[in-house]
Structure 1
Amino acid sequence: MPSNVFEIVDRYLATELSARALALAFARGWIDRLASGDRLDVRTLSALACMPQGSARAVLDLLSASGVVEDSGGYGLVREFGQALEARDLLEAKLWFANLVAPDVHEHFEALLTDVPRFMANAKVFELFRYDRCLAVTAENLELTRRWVSYTTTLTKYEAPEALVRLNLAESRSLLDVGGNSGEFARQACARQPRLMATVYDLPVVCELGRQHVGKFAEGGRVHFMEGDLRGQSTLPRGHDVISFKSVLHDWPEDYARAFLGKAVEALEPAGQLAIFERGTIRLDEAPLTYAMVPNLVFLPFFRDPGLYLDTLAGLGMTDIAVEWMELDMPFFLVTARKPAQ
């Protein structure tokens, strides 16, 4: 995939109506049918979608305006849209989540900016990310948790390479990924480094879903899961020369983030490396935000710049502290630091 895969995908989420039209086209089978090379008229497409011809034409007009389809002896897919279809899982994941959380932004925009506790109490997105459902492995908890784990796994699939290409793991043998979700980040690290073993530390339900995920890949046998909850008195397992946090620390207040980093530094092997791969703050004073940013906008109060992590790591005695910025669908940064040999 091109390195600017997020830019390619996000152009089809420029506005809410164009994104909702595209999601409908996926759901009603239009995209699959047209991707086969067929060119179809309005009558055929309306029958396929079980909608009136007038409604089908309105959806097709929206898709034409956004560069998804073109009418040339029947409707077909625009060739450039094929690039976005190469990352179809990312495109559909972003469409799903944007359409899911948009009502929260519509209805609670003022609270999002002025009263975060009220926003969290009323926004339905936080009903999706229920960590209390991740403690007991039951059929219901697995099904409910699978919805957001699948989404974050898809994001990580495309985000992780940007960090791993910058992270030197050539001499590393054992990675601990804290809050590592489905193990996708750890799996990709192992795929790049054949001698690397990885442990993912996360809540029990997430670990069970992760085992199912990494089991699909050849390197999955080198990714193991350890169930735990770092919020309490738990300590992290020792014996790892790399410890990573990928899209974890922004979820937590500063005191929790500092405590988690303290436990990581304590568990890290001497001369080991610690890595933090996180979203930065969203710049609102540049180009107008598109609908593609709605999934990130609901977490606006929680994103932070790396200063907290840099200060914390320095206070914990870490050395060689560095930060590198990159642009995906929003600003990301990679913080790296090394524990003294003794």
Structure 2
Amino acid sequence: MAAFRDPLAGFVPDALVLVALDNALSRGWPDAAVSDLTRDILHASGIADGTVPAPAFAALLGDGRADLVARVRFLRMALGDLALGFDALTGDLPTFMDRAQTFGLFRYDKAMSDTAAARAEVRPWVDYVSALTRLEAAHLVPRLPGNAGPDWLEIGGNSGAFAAAICAARADVRITVSDLPAVCGLGQEMQKGQDRIRFQPRDARKSGWAAELGARDLLLFKSVLHDWPDHHARAFLTEAVACLEPGGRIVICERGPFAAGLADASFLSRLANAVFAPFYRDPSVYEGWLRAAGFAPTRQTVQLDMPFHVIEAVRA
């Protein structure tokens, strides 16, 4: 398998280029004009050839423009949050989270109903998470268990981007994605025509998963447990156990601690992940929780923008 490569990283080496690129994309470039300063910065970086995209960057824009726009916008937010709030990030985390644009983006309270207004509120972060997932899926999907049963449940599965990648690789799998109502509504839009993916709106913090979601062969948590404090994350695993068929599996896909990948991280990776650095757990934490619940976890690690751990747990 080819090594992970972020196609954007080669074009955005520093903060000035990132800001100029976000400025251009937000103004509708290349269909719309940009300022001379923006054009000059993009030209000097190899993104633009005069007023139009350079051929290599034009190929990157292509069908992936929406993903590119979502990632660049988030990265610029993260840049601002770190520049202005690093002292709070390292000394007063609640204040950082309260003030940071990046945390203001992830407003789960806005997703509790599936209305047009709610979908519009949550679309920016759903788009960003979907863009990341599409980058990561090619490296994570091959590491999912090949001998699990066909009926899978993904908790916090966002737009269904990871589920779609799994279904494309595994003709035997059908997946239910459970997330908040507005997120599921967007997911149904984005995965229209996917007959092996269904969405079931639910707040994972409410107990009684098994009664509403049924028994499954595999429960998947991809980049979701780090979002929650220990008591919630452990409660999610307890609920997951109750949803498993005999011989069922729990799979956790998560980045490891921020420091573990810092030496090899690109500029963009550092920006994207530093704002979440306090929340990434060592994989041994998840493994310990699973052992305490009666499972025998195994782990695979793959180097993406940071070390990413795929933990599979079968009841001992």
**TM-score, normalised on structure 2?**
0.89
Aligned to 2:47: 68
Q: Is the 8 A contact 2:265 2:306 kept in 1?
A: no
1:172 is paired with a residue whose SS is coil
Distance 1:77 1:3, change over 3 A: farther
State whether structure 2 residue 33 is matched by structure 1 residue 49.
yes
Aligned residue identity for 2:208: S
Specify the alignment match of 1:227 in structure 2.
201
CA contact (8 A) 2:257 2:281 kept: yes
Corresponding position of 1:206? 183
Instruction: After TM superposition, give the deviation of residue 316 of structure 1 in Å.
Output: 0.9
Bigger Cα displacement from structure 2, 291-300 vs 132-141 = 291-300
Q: Is the 8 A contact 2:148 2:248 kept in 1?
A: no
- In 1, distance between residues paired with 2:166 and 2:262? 36
- Structure 1 distance, partners of 2:196, 2:16, is 44
SS in 1 for 2:145: coil
Instruction: State the Cα deviation string for residues 68-97 of structure 1 (Å, max 9, x = none).
Output: 245xxx676545445644654443322111
Q: 1:105 aligns with which of 79, 82, 96?
A: 82
| CA positional deviation for 1:257 | 1.0
Cα RMSD (Å): 2.5
| Aligned equivalent of 2:17 | 18
2:260 paired with 1:276:
no
Shift of 1:200: 1.0
Task: Say if 1:9 and 1:90, in contact at 8 Å, map to a contact too.
Answer: no
Other structure's SS at 2:143 match: coil
CA contact (8 A) 1:179 1:248 kept: yes
2:223–2:255 CA contact under 8 A, matched in 1 = yes
1:178, 1:302 → 2: CA distance?
Answer: 18
1:95 aligned residue (59, 67, 72): 72
Aligned equivalents of 2:157 and 2:71: distance in 1? 20
For residues 274-307 of structure 1, the C-alpha deviation after alignment (integer angstroms, 9 at most, x for no partner) is 1111112222762686245322211111111111
Q: From the superposition, tell whether residues 5 and 146 of structure 1 become closer, same or farther in structure 2 (CA, over 3 Å).
A: same
8 Å CA contact retained: 2:266, 2:305: no
d(CA) in 1 for partners of 2:128 and 2:4? 19
TM-superposed CA distance for 1:223, in Å, is: 0.9
5 Å-filtered alignment, 1:238-257, equals 238-257=214-233
Aligned partners of 2:133 and 2:162 also within 8 Å: yes
Give the number of the structure whose alpha-carbon radius of gyration is greater. Answer: 1
Q: Please say if residues 98 and 292 of structure 1, whose CA atoms lie closer than 8 Å, have aligned partners that are also in contact.
A: no
Q: Is the 8 A contact 2:221 2:251 kept in 1?
A: yes
Q: Secondary structure at the match of 1:199?
A: strand
Separation in 1, partners of 2:51, 2:114: 47
Residues 168-214 of structure 1: per-residue CA shift (max 9 Å, x gap): 23552101001111111112212222232111111111111111111
Gaps in structure 2 of 5+ consecutive residues: none
Instruction: Name the SS for the 1:270 alignment partner.
Output: strand
Q: Distance in 1 between matches of 2:268 and 2:38?
A: 18
**Alpha-carbon spacing, 1:286–1:195, altered in 2? closer, same or farther (3 Å):** closer
Kindly indicate whether the alpha-carbon contact (under 8 Å) linking 2:227 and 2:279 is maintained by their aligned counterparts in 1: yes
Q: TM-score, normalised by structure 1?
A: 0.83
Q: Distance in 1 between matches of 2:34 and 2:86?
A: 35
Instruction: Tell me, yes or no, if structure 1 residue 4 matches structure 2 residue 16.
Output: no
Distance 1:170 1:101, change over 3 A: same
1:131 aligns with 2:131: no
* Length, aligned pairs only: 312
- Deviation, 1:27, is 4.2
Give the SS at the match of 1:49: coil
For 1:323, which of 296, 299, 305 is the aligned residue?
A: 299
SS of the residue aligned with 1:325? strand
The residue number in structure 2 matching 1:169 is 146
Secondary structure of 1:112 counterpart:
helix
Rounded to whole Å, the distance in 1 between the matches of 2:54 and 2:220 is 41
| Residues 130 and 105 of structure 1, relative CA distance in 2, 3 Å threshold | same
| Deviating more after overlay: 22-31 vs 8-17 | 22-31
Kept after mapping to 2: 8 A contact 1:14/1:292: no
Q: Does 1:143 align with 2:117?
A: no
For the 8 Å contact 1:238–1:267, the answer to whether it is kept is yes
Query: Following TM superposition, by how much is the alpha carbon of 1:147 offset from its aligned partner in structure 2, in angstroms?
Result: 1.5
The amino acid across from 1:185 in the alignment is: F
* Conserved 8 A contact 1:274-1:336: yes
Check the 8 A contact 1:183/1:214 in 2, yes or no: yes
Please give the alpha-carbon distance, in whole angstroms, between the structure 2 residues aligned to 1:289 and 1:200.
Answer: 32
Which deviates further from its counterpart, 253-262 or 161-170? Answer: 161-170
The whole-number CA distance in structure 2 between the counterparts of 1:285 and 1:140 is: 39
In the superposition, relative to structure 1, how do residues 30 and 311 fare at CA in structure 2: closer, same or farther (>3 Å)? Answer: same
State the Cα deviation string for residues 292-336 of structure 1 (Å, max 9, x = none): 5322211111111111110011111112x2111112222211111
